[in-house]
Amino acid sequence: MFRHMSGLEMGDALFRERRHRNNIDVARRRYLNFPEFGHYDTWLIDLLQKLIEQNTGRQLFPNWQNVTDFPDTEESFVTVPLHSQGLQNKLDETVAAMKAADVHWTPKWTADTKFLCEAWE
* pLDDT 10s digits, 45-75: 999 999 999 999 998 888 888 888 889 888 7
- Run of H or E including 12: helix 8-30
- Whether the full predicted model's pTM is greater than 0.75, yes or no, is no
Q: Would the pLDDT of 82 be above 70?
A: yes
pLDDT of residue 18: 93
pLDDT of residue 104: 67
pLDDT of residue 111: 83
The 10 Å Cβ neighbour count of residue 49 is 21
Give yes or no for a contact between 46 and 61, defined as CB atoms under 8 angstroms apart. Answer: no
Return d(Cα 23, Cα 2) in angstroms, integer. 18
Nearest partner of 116 among 89, 87, 79, 86, judged by Cα: 79
Give yes or no for a contact between 20 and 8, defined as CB atoms under 8 angstroms apart. Answer: no
Return d(Cα 43, Cα 37) in angstroms, integer. 12
Q: List for the chain the helix, strand, coil content (%; round to 5).
A: 55, 0, 45
Return d(Cα 50, Cα 68) in angstroms, integer. 10
